[in-house]
Structure 1
Amino acid sequence: MNLTRRSFGAMSGAALAMGFAALVSAGAVASFATTATAQESETLVIAVPSDPAGLEPGTNKAEPVGSEIILNVFDTLVAWKAPDFAELEGRLASGWSISEDGKTFTFDLQDGVAFQDGTPFNAEAVKFSLERTKELNPYVKASLGMIDSIETPTDDEVVIHLSEPYPAFMSILAQPQAAIVSPAAVEKYGDDFANQPVGTGPFAFRAYQPDTRVVLDANPDYFRGEPKLKRLIYRIIPEASTRRLELENGGIDVIQQQSQLSAVPSEEMKAFANNPDIAIIEKPSQIIRQLEFNNSKTDSPVADIKVREAIAHAIDYDGLLSGVFDGTAERVYGPLTSNSWAFDPKVKDLAPKYDPELSKTLLAEAGYEPGDLNLKLYSFQGSLWGDVATFVQANLADVGINTEIAQTEFPSYRALHVAGDWDIALDGRQPWYNDPDAHITIGYLSGLKDTAMTFRMPENPSLDALILKAQQDPDMEARKALYGAIQEELVTGIPGAYLFSPKLIVFTRSNVDGLVINSAPPLTEYFGVSKE
């Protein structure tokens, strides 16, 4: 009955009346049900917690929902190879080479690829797309900003010259902001291209209803083969309880975590564990959630390292993991997660440990009596962000620090954070490419403090030089050693209190097959997914 009701709901009133007239016989009813079942088996419904933003590469700023849609509507030159995501494979590039100095990248392109509007994909489209995103999007200043020039010797060859060596550049080309757009569609739609995105990907944009849904249809002419699914529907369902009920009842097929603290709570995760109709996919992530200090605000209490140390020692990290997350997150000790290839194990010993008495001593040394220090703790909106903020607030109260929690809508929060109008704030970073540079450069390079939500690091020539050398050195072992030195300096300098890394957790109906999770970026491609 639910199936029939959903199918009728998509019809106009006139079509509905005609449908009832046609369905007077049992045979017609059976035929309709068979067709509806077939359509449902080829449609995947994905629940996401928020309206998408940044639906096209040129303006995307790592918004989770929009970024995932990009990777299904558009293609990048290269992508991380499933299921391990440990190496890059060609997508729109069939092959590539890198010069010895690490500054020139030459790509051979796939033949016979067309955009979803029928126009041909070629080298000029690559040049147009990357230069367009570089111009439009301040978010990519630290990465695509290194592009010095792009040459197109033939329709099938692109040569990208960088101003500096950048070993992580290949990873950059796999992220959503580096996806290739249709130049003809950009010219046709202009500023409205974000509402009419056109790429070469396995699914084509069909419709968007604000705060309701995004619909993508399979691209039958996709150069890698036709997708197994005919349609993707992203349903926007902010309430976790509603997402849970919809999954249990079969109204949706997938609940995506979307790398935010808005996944189904752990109690409901336990309930799902005993439901044979639901599968749970878990994977460690490279996402970091932290309590950040505004390190460039000289008149702030946190300008004093003793205050920063006191706050870092006041937090019960293990209690946060067990009390709020119940096994759905892991400890973070510094600026990189422990599953990063550049993680230095000595950071575990250097990281601040929960020690309320030491915290009180440090506050006294900084000149604060219990109750003297008052701070506003900014946080994203959402129940789990609220839980984390409340936990931290209680920890700080135990050592005599008063905090007022201010949960703020994301656009306002981003503006406030970038402007530096805060002392302490809950924030996080999710890597959009599989390299420590994704955490380190944008988070801690002083020259980028005003460009995004960062630790707002003050000018530090020696640390800045280390970060840039680690970013540019072509020797991977040398880079690992450099990142070890960076981690040690950051952890001892206490630019923030590193809290936890949420696991990537996706809930699906048990008949969903072929879905795999990538940790960097934590976005899902549905080209190989089907429903049994």
Structure 2
Amino acid sequence: MKLTRRLFGVVSGAALAMGTVPFAAQVAQAQESSTLVIAVPSDPAGLEPGINKAEPIGSEIILNVFDTLVAWQAPDFAELEGRLATEWSVSEDGMTFDFTLRDGVVFHDGTPFNAEAVKFSIERTVEMNPYVEASLGLIESIETPSETEVVFTLSRPYPAFLSILAQPQSAIVSPTAVGELGDDFATNPVGTGPFKFRAYQADTRVVLDANADYYRGAPKLERLIYTIIPEASTRRLELENGGVDIIQQAGQLSAVPSEEMAAFAENDDIQILESPSQIIRQLEFNNSLTDGPFTDVRVRRAIAMAIDYDGLLSGVFDGTAERVYGPLTSNSWAFDPEVMDLAPSYDPEAAKALLAEAGVDPSDLTVKLYSFQGSLWGAVATFVQANLADIGVNVEIAQTEFPSYRALHVAGEWEMALDGRQPWYNDPDAHVTIGYLSALKNSAMTFRMPENAELDAKILEAQGEADMEKRKTLYGEIQKEIVEQVPGAYLFSPKLIVFARSNVEGLVVNSAPPLNEYWSVSKN
């Protein structure tokens, strides 16, 4: 969603109302102990749950304006805690989820939160948002026995459903505000969260004010300002000069380049917060092609063996990313260490031998490599291009704007592409089902896996298995089978990195989803 160029609400200061914010005024705002200024690289999209498709900036704003029924508990983010739900139970068959809701909560517009609001919100997202078809689309019915009880019944068991309810798309909206605002709700979101939406100015900023009546207690900050600064160098300077309090890398390959971390490391006024992520960036093959060299697993394996993974991590990322060996990162609870031994290793001579065995003359092989735009994506593409040139394969790089890239990727109009998956819930289902289930190959940017009844059945069995140890065993088998098929070359997992002024306290970086909540954050 591209937000319309209209200013909603009023932000303090005549300068903002006129569409300009002098640098000195921004510095003064950032230096106020009650205001946190967060630099982001682009205008937000998906500011409200009903249409959000995991856009990073809009998703983070949602989790600060709205509440979900449950959320991942800081600082470890290993267990779910209640938010708008105080307790819940799951039926033995794993298909019915019964929630007791928090009483006395009100939306920012003063209307009451209740079970009907939950039903309205989730059904609205399912209706509006094709992105949630594989998850919230499993809901068969939502019942509201009382104002403080809501019961979800699924069409089949889905243990990750609780994790799904912690996503931005599952946040609870004000039915009254939706009814009154219509389409304008997308730029005037109303929730129950710790911050109230105050104003939006296109390509400039989003302003949130503290919700003094928040049921968990008022935030320590009075205001959040997301200021839009496209240039990484400008964001860095503003952080150094005190014009902003926080800049985020968040795995987007669009913020402060890794080589500039050294400068921050020597600056006592700036702190660097790092956390492993479950984000995966990879070189994908279009596995649904019926002809061409990549239909041969030996060719795919040769390409994967031609990539210098350690050189990529040290040369391009300088320690800000980690190796990935298969469909899951090594910090996933379902990761199988045996995958590390099965994954292709850097061996150009063995790669050449595999191509020869497959009857492929690399000098006859010219491939277009599609990539996202941005300097770091360009660096990754150039690195891969050089690696493949070493085994005689000619690669043409095509960096493409995201809307066009997404369209051609979903349509299958490509052979090889750089892509990635950023999980929005802490479960292997977030990577495996969407990425590798052949029935979903045309629905998103996936590996476009060919029909494989055995693998598909195992993926769905793992998705629905209620016993977590059995699920882990199934996902281990799935990982090893996928790695053997070489649907792509798994490149790296970027660390989640947040740069903040030294007086920012209480910020904890979440790994899945990689979105920050600011309710507990303060400035000294």
| TM-score band, normalised by shorter chain | over 0.9
The alpha-carbon deviation at position 102 of structure 1 amounts to 0.6
Match of 2:120 in 1: 128
Tell me if the contact between 1:377 and 1:425 (Cα under 8 Å) persists in the aligned partners: yes
Change in Cα spacing, 1:340 to 1:409, as seen in structure 2 (3 Å) is same
Match of 2:298 in 1: 306
Match of 1:87 in 2: 79
Q: How many Å separate the matches in 2 of 1:9 and 1:184?
A: 31
Match of 1:66 in 2: 58
Tell me if the contact between 1:65 and 1:258 (Cα under 8 Å) persists in the aligned partners: no
The alpha-carbon deviation at position 39 of structure 1 amounts to 7.9
Structure 1, unpaired ranges of 5+: 1-5, 17-32
SS in 2 for 1:41: coil
Match of 1:315 in 2: 307
TM-score (normalised: structure 1): 0.93
Match of 2:91 among 89, 99, 105: 99
Match of 2:5 in 1: none
Tell me if the contact between 1:151 and 1:159 (Cα under 8 Å) persists in the aligned partners: yes
Match of 2:232 in 1: 240
Instruction: Please say if 1:10 is aligned against 2:15.
Output: yes
Match of 2:368 among 365, 368, 376: 376
Structure 2, unpaired ranges of 5+: 1-10
Tell me if the contact between 1:48 and 1:258 (Cα under 8 Å) persists in the aligned partners: no
Match of 2:172 in 1: 180
Matches within 5 A, 1:102-501: 102-501=94-493
SS in 1 for 2:378: helix
SS in 2 for 1:439: helix
Tell me if the contact between 1:254 and 1:507 (Cα under 8 Å) persists in the aligned partners: yes
Match of 1:25 in 2: none
The alpha-carbon deviation at position 152 of structure 1 amounts to 0.2
Aligned AA for 1:319? G
Match of 2:507 in 1: 515
The alpha-carbon deviation at position 9 of structure 1 amounts to 6.8
Q: Deviations over 1:176-231 (max 9, x none)?
A: 11101111111112122211111111111111122211111111221111111111
The alpha-carbon deviation at position 335 of structure 1 amounts to 0.4
The alpha-carbon deviation at position 12 of structure 1 amounts to 7.2
Q: How many Å separate the matches in 2 of 1:69 and 1:88?
A: 20
Tell me if the contact between 2:378 and 2:399 (Cα under 8 Å) persists in the aligned partners: yes
The alpha-carbon deviation at position 259 of structure 1 amounts to 2.6
Match of 1:48 in 2: 40
The alpha-carbon deviation at position 415 of structure 1 amounts to 1.2
SS in 2 for 1:308: helix
After the TM superposition, which of the residue ranges 139-148 and 217-226 deviates more from structure 2? 217-226
SS in 1 for 2:184: helix
The alpha-carbon deviation at position 500 of structure 1 amounts to 0.4
Q: How many Å separate the matches in 1 of 2:327 and 2:49?
A: 27
Change in Cα spacing, 1:509 to 1:305, as seen in structure 2 (3 Å) is same
Answer with 1 or 2: which has the greater Rg: 1
SS in 1 for 2:298: helix
Q: How many residues align?
A: 507
Q: How many Å separate the matches in 1 of 2:170 and 2:371?
A: 30
Q: How many Å separate the matches in 1 of 2:202 and 2:355?
A: 48
Q: How many Å separate the matches in 1 of 2:292 and 2:461?
A: 31
Q: Deviations over 1:471-527 (max 9, x none)?
A: 111111100000000000000000110000000110000000100011010000000
Match of 1:21 in 2: none
Q: How many Å separate the matches in 2 of 1:263 and 1:289?
A: 16
Change in Cα spacing, 1:133 to 1:7, as seen in structure 2 (3 Å) is closer
TM-score (normalised: structure 2): 0.94
Aligned AA for 1:514? G
Q: How many Å separate the matches in 1 of 2:17 and 2:349?
A: 68
Change in Cα spacing, 1:115 to 1:357, as seen in structure 2 (3 Å) is same
Match of 1:27 in 2: none
Aligned AA for 1:100? E
Q: Deviations over 1:401-421 (max 9, x none)?
A: 111111111111111111111
The alpha-carbon deviation at position 11 of structure 1 amounts to 7.1
The alpha-carbon deviation at position 46 of structure 1 amounts to 0.4
SS in 2 for 1:487: helix
Tell me if the contact between 1:106 and 1:160 (Cα under 8 Å) persists in the aligned partners: yes
Tell me if the contact between 1:287 and 1:337 (Cα under 8 Å) persists in the aligned partners: yes
Q: Deviations over 1:388-413 (max 9, x none)?
A: 00000110111111111111111111
Q: Deviations over 1:409-449 (max 9, x none)?
A: 11111111111111111111111111111110001011111
Q: How many Å separate the matches in 1 of 2:257 and 2:518?
A: 25
Q: Deviations over 1:118-150 (max 9, x none)?
A: 111110110011111111111111110110000
Tell me if the contact between 1:73 and 1:202 (Cα under 8 Å) persists in the aligned partners: yes
Aligned AA for 2:166? A
Q: How many Å separate the matches in 1 of 2:287 and 2:65?
A: 39
Q: How many Å separate the matches in 1 of 2:257 and 2:61?
A: 24
The alpha-carbon deviation at position 155 of structure 1 amounts to 0.7
SS in 2 for 1:371: helix
Q: Deviations over 1:234-290 (max 9, x none)?
A: 111121111110000000000112330123112211111111100000111111000
The alpha-carbon deviation at position 313 of structure 1 amounts to 0.6
Indicate the RMSD between aligned Cα atoms, in angstroms: 1.7
Aligned AA for 1:10? A
